[in-house]
Chain A
Amino acid sequence: MSSEDLAKDGGDSSLNSVSKFLRGCKLPGTVRLTRTASEHIARASPGGSSPGSGPGCVAGEAGARRGEASTGAGELQADGRGLTGGGVRGSEGIGEGRTLATRRGGGTAAATNGDVGPSGRATGEDGGARAGADLAHLSLHARGRDGGGEDGGAGGSGRGGRGEPRASPRGEAHPETSSLRSMSDTRKAKFRKLLDEQVVDLEALRELAWSGIPAELRPVCWQLLLGYLPPNCERRAAILERKRREYRDMVPDYYDIADRCADDLGALRQVAVDVPRTAPDVPFFAQPAIQKSLERILYLWGIRHPASGYVQGINDLVTPFLAVFLGEHFSEGGPAIPGGMDGWEVATLSEAAVHAAEADAYWCLCKLLDGIQDHYTHAQPGIQRTVFRLHELVRRIEEPVTQHMEAEGLDFLQFTFRWVNCLLLREVPFALAVRLWDTYVAEGGRMKEFLTYVLAAFLLCWAPQLRAMDFQEMVLFLQKLPTGGWGEREVETVLSRAYMWRTSFDQAQSHLSQS
């Protein structure tokens, strides 16, 4: 069996036999890829400009003032962070999904993640209010620090002395709704309005997408936000055509080749052993055609990014792209991934459709990883830095839990490594990974920094449990967290908390070592 055979997907040449074959090839046990620097040209970076200032880049001060100005006890209102953007830009819809609830005076804790008009009044949707209400009990962390509380205007003073403990308003202000926010018609209309423009306003799309993208619009939104598609709709078809052709041409040049140097064979071997065990709990990825696509994408990515090469875990990161881009073909109303991927038979699709989705997934993976390459280079300095920052951040937010973990001898790296390596994808059900991805791609250039806050919010979901556990219990618990029953709401709560903390700590960065 030659490596050419690997490419000809007869359907019967299973990857297992490939890996067996490769195993028998007398490869050196481990090889590091060494490629010429000219290969680097492949890494088309988005013009050097940072995709940049995602939502929340505006300082909390203005927003806090805005929140203050419109305060009325007991009213449904938006506060602080959520209004940050709204206050400054005065545009509609800003701050969606990130508004947190606070309890003011003796008033009812209430907030909305819904649409916040320029006036600061909550005007809109209900789903977000649930997340907001969940957040309310956390607001004591933020109050005062960012000026979101009564001392409004003291933006970013960096101390949280004011937050007196309050009863959690959990359970109040939970509107009776089960519809997912990203599915609501008004939200869809807003997306469509933006996407119908001749030149898409990426910043507006970023802000909207941050809180979740309607399933049927995911492919185009992700591709725009990652900088794969140009905002100008006239140029899109040509660009897509060119990028897909470019990818198609790479396959014979790099993948379908008879002779490989030992390094490349080692790389192929590593990919080949990982592909069959990618997302084993999602049958969709067990289809032979998908496994071929996965193998090509990962192998090509690895040899074209020689500074890191393929690293285990990147196989997980490509799965949301493949699922979403292929899913477009399987459901009329768009790939409702949370609704399941049963019956998605890739074999029923045209070859061209599969190749297009594969190429798109490849380029989007490139874009996503461009910002976090140092997570995968030697010694993985990016991950170590992120974990270090996470530890410091968690210490600031929840000192007792941090102390407990330290006293038990638990090192953050021991349990967060996989979290960072796979961007939390493995810690939640696959259906929710796409929701995480919405926010990641919306964050753009700030994703890496934001990840630290997401990880902190995720970890501290379990703070009460952790405090009662010893070392062993904690490690066992943390590597298999009970997120099986999670839905979008839980993920959005984590993301909202992360947003809130970033806004709070952005003004007081000195506690986090700059990298």
Chain B
Amino acid sequence: MSRNRTSLKLVLLGEGRVGKTSLVLKYCHSQFAEEQRATEQAAFNSKQVTVGERQVELSIWDTAGQERFHAIQPLYYRDADAALLVFDLTDSDTLERVRAWVTELQTLVGADVVLTVVGNKADLAAARAVPAAESRGVAAAVGAAYHEVSALTGAGVEAAFADTARRALARQQRRLAAADAAQLSASPGVPSWAGGRDTVSFTGQGPTRRRPCC
């Protein structure tokens, strides 16, 4: 198993225009643009990070906010290790959607998917419509960590991703350990997305890459 090369898949979910794309661009490329084109369906980014002593490759899927695109979105998050549920601190409606996302995610990915609720646009203090207590309450109710960030200034962005990655890595290691245990009893483990890059040897063949189920 590729223990040396660890990959984690993160997915960003949330209403349109809350700043998902801007968050990812800030985190991965330290960029910010006022008018970011709308994301249709999903966009992909990656970043190498160090979590503890381990090099981790984060694959980040930034999804579309408009509901019309949601039908096909499980393609992107069905094998996610963690999800960042982004809402706009100046728009309380966007927080409401977070609960719906969690239900959908847990159905498809499993109850133990790592969750982080992220309140974006913290720089717009005057326009703030969601008190911290309220969003913390929502996060706690769904078993998620809570971070407030600003994709504009960058405040909190690193911490939100780093915390998510740390917890996702811990989850993956638990899962791999469980998979190893299962492998000992003869059946091959089924790791998460990272498994798609693992090699599984079959008798008489070279290493073959396993296709992910989607």
Contacts and interface: CB of A to CB of B under 8 A. Distances in A.
Contacts of B68: 308-309, 311-312, 376, 378, 380
B44 A417 contact: no
Contacts of A309: 68
A27 B67 CA distance: 14
Interface in A229-285: 270, 273-274, 276-278, 280
Nearest to B7: A472
Contacts of B94: 29
Nearest to B96: A29
Nearest to B209: A407
B86 interface: no
A98 to B, nearest CB: 30
A23 B67 CA distance: 16
A498 B211 CA distance: 30
Contacts of A270: 16, 66
A411 B209 CA distance: 15
A414 interface: yes
Interface string A362-387: 00000000000000101110001000
B66 A311 contact: yes
B72 A30 contact: no
B32 to A, nearest CB: 13
B93 A26 contact: yes
B44 A476 contact: yes
B93 A471 contact: no
Given A30-B67, A276-B35, A277-B35, A418 B40 contact: yes
A421 B92 CA distance: 30
B93 A32 contact: no
Contact of A407 (B35, B72, B211): B211
B15 A29 contact: yes
Interface in A429-455: none
A408 interface: yes
A380 B64 CA distance: 14
A23 B18 CA distance: 11
Given A312-B69, A376-B68, A273 B16 contact: yes
A485 B46 CA distance: 25
A411 B40 contact: no
B214 interface: yes
B90 A379 contact: no
Interface in A22-44: 23-24, 26-30, 32
Given A27-B93, A30-B97, A411-B75, A422 B40 contact: yes
Interface centre among B66, B75, B94 (most CB of A within 10 A): B66
A276 B35 CA distance: 7
B35 A280 contact: yes
B38 A313 contact: yes
Contacts of B96: 29
A277 B38 contact: yes
Interface range on chain B: under 10, 10 to 19, 20 to 34, or 35 or more? 35 or more
Interface string A206-222: 00000000000000000
B91 A418 contact: no
B67 A32 contact: yes
B71 interface: yes
Q: Which of A20, A309, A312, A417 has the most CB of B within 10 A?
A: A312
A276 B16 CA distance: 14
A315 interface: yes
Contacts of A88: none
B36 interface: yes
Nearest to B213: A409
Interface residues of A, number: 45
Nearest to A377: B68
Contacts of B67: 30, 32
B42 interface: yes
A411 B211 CA distance: 10
A24 B39 CA distance: 23
A408 B15 CA distance: 30
B20 to A, nearest CB: 13
Contact of A409 (B41, B66, B211): B211
B41 to A, nearest CB: 4
A458 B33 CA distance: 28
B53 to A, nearest CB: 23
A475 interface: yes
A406 interface: yes
A313 B76 CA distance: 19
B43 interface: yes
A59 interface: no
Nearest to B68: A311
Contact of A380 (B46, B71, B93): B71
A465 interface: no
A460 to B, nearest CB: 21
A475 B44 contact: yes
Contact of B16 (A312, A422, A476, A479): A312
B3 interface: no
A442 to B, nearest CB: 26
A32 B70 CA distance: 13
B129 A471 contact: no
A312 B44 contact: no
B130 to A, nearest CB: 12
B17 interface: yes
B165 to A, nearest CB: 16
B91 A23 contact: yes
A414 B44 contact: yes
Most chain B CB atoms below 10 A, which of A30, A32, A376, A378:
A30
B212 interface: yes
Contacts of B42: 414, 417
Best-surrounded residue of B39, B69, B209 (most CB of chain A within 10 A): B69
Interface string B24-66: 0000000001011111111111100000000001010000101
Given A29-B96, A277-B36, 10 more contacts: A23-B91, A24-B129, A30-B97, A276-B35, A312-B38, A312-B64, A409-B209, A472-B44, A475-B44, A479-B44
11 contacts: A19-B17, A26-B93, A274-B38, A277-B36, A309-B68, A315-B38, A380-B71, A408-B209, A411-B75, A413-B72, A418-B41
